[in-house]
Amino acid sequence: MAGNAEGLARHRHVHSQTAPTGRDGGAWRCFTGGPNRVLHGMASRNRKAGRLAPAGAGDTGKEDRSSSSTAWTMQEQTQGTDTMHHQTVIVVGASSGMGLAAARLFLERGATVWMVARDMERLQNAASSLGSERARVLSADVGSDEGRARIVAVAPQVDHLVITAADLVYKPSQALCEAEVMRAVRSKVVGPYLLAAACAARMPEHGSITLVSGVAAERPIAGGSVTGMVNGAINAMVRGLALELAPIRVNAVSPGWVDTPFWGQVASAERREQLFAAMRDKIPTRRISTVEDVAQMIEVAMTNKAVSGTTLYVDGGQRLV
Ligand SMILES: NC(=O)c1ccc[n+]([C@@H]2O[C@H](COP(=O)([O-])OP(=O)(O)OC[C@H]3O[C@@H](n4cnc5c(N)ncnc54)[C@H](OP(=O)(O)O)[C@@H]3O)[C@@H](O)[C@H]2O)c1
Residues 173/192, Cβ–Cβ less than 8 Å: no
Q: Which band of pLDDT confidence, cut at 50, 70 and 90, is reported for residue 247?
A: very high
What integer pLDDT is reported at residue 240 of this predicted model?
A: 98
Atom of ligand 1 nearest to the CA of 118: 41
- Gap from CA of 163 to ligand 1 centroid (Å): 9
Chain-centre distance for alpha carbon 43 = 22
What integer pLDDT is reported at residue 5 of this predicted model?
A: 30
For a mutational test of ligand 1's pocket, the pick from 90, 98, 218, 312, i.e. the residue with the most ligand atoms closer than 8 A to its C-beta, is 98
pLDDT digits (tens, 9 = 90+) for 161-208: 999 999 999 999 999 999 999 999 999 999 999 999 999 999 999 999
Report which of residues 225 and 64 the model is more confident about. Answer: 225
What integer pLDDT is reported at residue 61 of this predicted model?
A: 31
pLDDT digits (tens, 9 = 90+) for 41-77: 333 333 333 222 222 222 233 333 333 333 334 344 4
Q: Which band of pLDDT confidence, cut at 50, 70 and 90, is reported for residue 80?
A: low
- The C-alpha atoms of residue 258 and residue 245 are separated, in whole angstroms, by 30
Mean pLDDT over all residues of the chain? 81
- Gap from CA of 279 to ligand 1 centroid (Å): 21
- Gap from CA of 88 to ligand 1 centroid (Å): 21
- Gap from CA of 72 to ligand 1 centroid (Å): 40
Q: Confirm whether pTM is higher than 0.85.
A: no
Angle, CA 260 vertex, CA 254 and CA 261 arms, to 5°: 130
Atom of ligand 1 nearest to the CA of 141: 32
- The C-alpha atoms of residue 313 and residue 215 are separated, in whole angstroms, by 8
What integer pLDDT is reported at residue 100 of this predicted model?
A: 98
- Gap from CA of 166 to ligand 1 centroid (Å): 4
Ordered domains of the chain (ranges, CATH): 23-82 (no CATH), 85-320 (3.40.50.720)
Q: Which band of pLDDT confidence, cut at 50, 70 and 90, is reported for residue 122?
A: very high
Atom of ligand 1 nearest to the CA of 123: 40
Tell whether the model's pLDDT for residue 219 goes beyond 70. Answer: yes
